[in-house]
Amino acid sequence: MTIVSPSHGYLAFRGEPTADLFRQAPTLPTDFLFGFATAAAQIEGGGPEAEKASGRGDSIWDEFCDRPGNIRDGSNVKRTCNHLEKYKEDIALMKSLGANSYRFSISWPRVIPLGGKGDPVNQKGIRFYNDLIDECLKVGLVPFVTLYHWDLPLELFKRYGGWLDKEKIVEDYTHYAKTCFDLFGDRVKHWLTFNEPWCTAVLGHGIGQFAPGHVSNTEPWIVGQSLMIAHASAAKLYMREYKAKQGGMIGITLNGDWTDPYDESPENVEAAQRKMDFAVGWFADVIYLGRYPQSMIDILGDRLPQFSQEELDLLKDSSEFYGCNTYTTNTIKATRTKDEYAGYTTMAFDKPDGTEIGVKSQLGWLRDVPWGFRRLLNYLYQRYKKPIYMTENGWAIKGESALSPAEASIQADDEGRVQYYNGYTQALKEAIQIDGVDVRSYFGFMDNFEWASGLVPRFGSVYVDYETFERTPKDSATSLMKFFKDNISTK
């Protein structure tokens, strides 16, 4: 049973359903999509010479990686997993493991190296994505395509500051999106305009951990508005000119983890909602509800850019579903901090009884909290009333990155990740079957370039030897795919 309080809109579970009810619930829908999720900048690069020969232009991540100290291990987006050469092998591996879909991103600078509407396209890049899509369809994987996963063409940043210039970037991004719809839309039926705009705005322009590495308390909100208008411009273009003839759908994927109040005191419940407003509502409330969360208006004042009526009309109904990336859960206290991006709340994992929620991972921010995942799915579905596509979820095991390639090949047993996936897929199943949440996909990971953390943390259920590019499936890949094989209806 779920209870929603009208006073603060916060969801909490009171008791669990009976085992009999769960056993009698229907299985997952026949058209449920599941498989592996990647991003171009995380997996495509085979080395500087190969990237140069491919015709890809530099992105802001190339420049960011070249600056000493930005990437934990000094690695670079130019050399990651060599998916550019090994895509057929990777697709065959995904299919052999049981996946029915592959979520990947198109690299804007690989298609249009300089990025702008008047700039030439790269035929080698276009050929690669045509071949990649065709290979997916050949083996029976549904291509689920992200148009922008953080790799802005560097030239556009040099020309006018990238996402800081709303008018110019919306025009160039929409042209890029149109190019992709024209080239690939006859075969791609699932489009995502952006992956995690919060990260582009905050990590890239607020605290400087991601490219382009800016530190500012004004830029994130400007960038956030540019991203939303660019999303809506491309999405409405697709709906207006392509949807009827190509038969696809388009939406956006947002990151955001569940926030559980430290206790049930009114101030901590309110703080948990405020944190959710800043993490999710910043983008989701505007796109799906047509307004900023009131808590953001109260805190940010005139730093929060206003939308014209024309822009609000453009944003309305601009995402046909809710794309969700999530990993963990935090407990939230009202104790004031300096973290504006968390609504000045205190994020932790402890509870009043002295215990902590969730098993620890290799990374300090990541805990294994499946019940929080279920609560998040309920919250998103009840608040935004859109079908949910789970587009990213994964786990980094403590100590796994220290294994040598030989050890990793022998020790394909990744029990912690198996446990994580078991918990999260069970929570997914319960949200669908018991709570009635409309969830339509779930994607895991393969080892890859983890942005500012470089090649150090391993989130994948497929091990990648970064010297030889050899792939080795881990136990979690088999168990994750088996879950969907066992739970998706064949009727």
* Structure letter (DSSP) for residue 46: B
- Local structure of 20: helix, strand or coil: helix
SS3 at position 478? helix
Measured CA angle at 355 (ends 353, 357), to 5 deg: 125
Cβ atoms of residues 19 and 386 within 8 Å: no
DSSP assignment of 250-274, as one string?
EEEEEE--EEEESSS-HHHHHHHHH
Please identify which of the residues 44, 51, 155, 196 carries the catalytic annotation.
196
Sign for the CA dihedral angle at 149, 103, 484, 490 comes to positive
Nearest to 109 by CA among 144, 67, 62: 62
Q: Which of 270, 320, 392, 450 is catalytic?
A: 392
Whether 196 sits among the annotated catalytic residues: the reply is yes
Is 392 one of the catalytic residues? yes
Nearest 5°: phi and psi at 154?
Answer: -60, -35
Say how far apart CA 34 and CA 193 lie, in whole Å. 19
According to DSSP, residue 350 is labeled B
Given phi > 0 = left and psi -120 to 50 = alpha, else beta, which region is 222? alpha
- Which stretch of DSSP H or E encloses residue 468? none
Amino acid letter, residue 182: D
Q: What is each CA distance from 332 to 39, 231, 329, 335, in whole angstroms?
A: 31, 31, 10, 9
Cα–Cα distances in Å, from 183 out to 118, 285, 371? 17, 32, 42
Q: Which of 321, 348, 356, 329 is nearest to 423 (CA)?
A: 329
CA distance 275 to 347: 9
How deeply is 85 buried, as exposed, middle or buried, from its count of CB atoms within 10 A (0-12, 13-18, 19+)?
middle
User: CB-based burial of residue 90 (10 Å sphere; 0-12 exposed, 13-18 middle, 19+ buried)?
Assistant: buried
Distance between CA atoms of residues 190 and 246, nearest Å: 11
Q: Which residues are catalytically annotated?
A: 196, 392
